[in-house]
């Protein structure tokens, strides 16, 4: 099973953008009365948040007292959502919410403070599809071959539509 190498700009991501701390401060101010409790929590969350992308999946960890670490394999990714509110868009931030087939309605992992959220989403989709294509390519299933061909043609159509819009 050969996997494509991870692009260097993705491998280089270890911490969220600095503007995420600005967003956290604004979020704590909006909490009003709870500011003395929310601000330290968000401050330590920001300063301890670490990301690592490797060939297996995404590693995310944060926390001081209650340390939390999440490893999510690319093959388990079911759905990816990109969300941002008005203030996040102003700060050029977005949350990338990643869901698995765990049965939970909420995201299993939320990547915050990414440089290029659209590029990260596309990278995750390619990894998610790549692991599924590798699994499908191992079986001699004619239906899988037809589905793979249809997917390729749809990608070509999408590229043509995007070129015609530009």
Residue-wise pLDDT tens digits, 85-142? 999 999 999 999 999 887 777 788 999 988 888 999 999 999 988 755 555 555 567 7
Pick the CATH number of 8-165 from 2.60.40, 2.30.29, 2.60.60, 3.40.50: 2.30.29
Q: Angle formed by the axes of helices 19-30 and 35-48, to 10°?
A: 160
Entry pTM: 0.71
Say if residues 88 and 94 touch (Cβ distance below 8 Å).
yes
Q: What is the pLDDT of residues 41-97, one digit of tens each?
A: 999 999 999 999 998 899 999 999 899 999 999 988 999 999 999 999 999 999 999
Q: What is the pLDDT of residues 5-35, one digit of tens each?
A: 888 888 889 999 999 999 999 999 999 999 9
């Amino acid at each position: 099973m050969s996997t494509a190498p991870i692009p260097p700009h993705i491998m280089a991501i270890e911490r969220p953008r600095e503007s995420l701390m600005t967003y956290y401060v604004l979020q704590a101010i909006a909490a009003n009365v709870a500011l003395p409790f929310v601000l330290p929590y968000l401050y330590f969350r920001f300063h301890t948040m670490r990301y690592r992308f490797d060939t297996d999946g995404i590693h995310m960890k944060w926390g001081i007292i209650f340390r939390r670490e999440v490893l999510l394999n690319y093959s388990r990714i079911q759905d990816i959502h990109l969300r941002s509110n008005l203030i996040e868009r102003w700060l050029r931030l977005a949350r990338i919410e990643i869901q698995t087939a765990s049965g939970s309605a909420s995201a299993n992992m939320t990547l915050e403070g990414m440089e290029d959220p659209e590029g990260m989403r596309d990278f995750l989709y390619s990894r998610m599809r790549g692991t599924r294509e590798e699994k499908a390519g191992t079986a001699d299933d004619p239906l899988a071959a037809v589905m793979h061909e249809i997917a390729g043609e749809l990608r070509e159509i999408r590229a043509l539509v995007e070129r015609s819009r530009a």
